[in-house]
Amino acid sequence: MSKPPLPDDAAAMLAKANPAVITTLRPDGQPVSTATWYLWEDGRVLINMDEGRKRVEHLRNDSRVTLTVLDKDDWYTHVSLVGRIGEILPDEGLADIDRLARQYTGKEYARRDRDRVSAWIEIERWHGWGAHKDSSQVG
């Protein structure tokens, strides 16, 4: 796996509204994968969750995380980001989920009656495949 920064073409793919799967760890170490929206910004990744989700508890207990992003136009091309949650913050005024919703749907997030939290993934390593394959990547 390579260390950041990512090449410009991989970062450009991550800047788009692509399908993604996040993997967190339960307290017993079992990985749990869930589809998610994400936002690539300045070499970090923003995710957002309903405050009551188990995923929030998992991330508070163990900050290790993997996000795999599939190029929506060519699923053979993907980038997997391995890192840790740098911070978990309340999503005041639902500003972050609105940013994510606009990225994916073009409009603000519809459900306004639940508190949400935002988390920033700090990238430690990455791996690409398809158009973003790096032949020098090890392991």
Per-residue pLDDT at 138: 52
CATH number of the domain where residue 22 is located? 2.30.110.10
Domain-embedded: residue 94? yes
DSSP string, 26-45: -TTS-EEEEE---EEETTEE
If one counts every other C-beta atom within 10 angstroms of the C-beta of residue 11, the result is: 16
Domain-embedded: residue 139? no
Q: What is the mean pLDDT of residues 71-79?
A: 94
Domain-embedded: residue 77? yes
If one counts every other C-beta atom within 10 angstroms of the C-beta of residue 64, the result is: 15
Look up residue 87 and give its DSSP letter: E
0.85 exceeded by the pTM? yes
Domain-embedded: residue 107? yes
Span 7-63, pLDDT tens digits: 999 999 999 999 999 999 999 999 999 999 999 999 999 999 999 999 999 999 999
Domain-embedded: residue 60? yes
The count of structural domains within the chain is 1
Whole domain around residue 56: which residue ranges?
8-132
**102: pLDDT strictly greater than 70:** yes
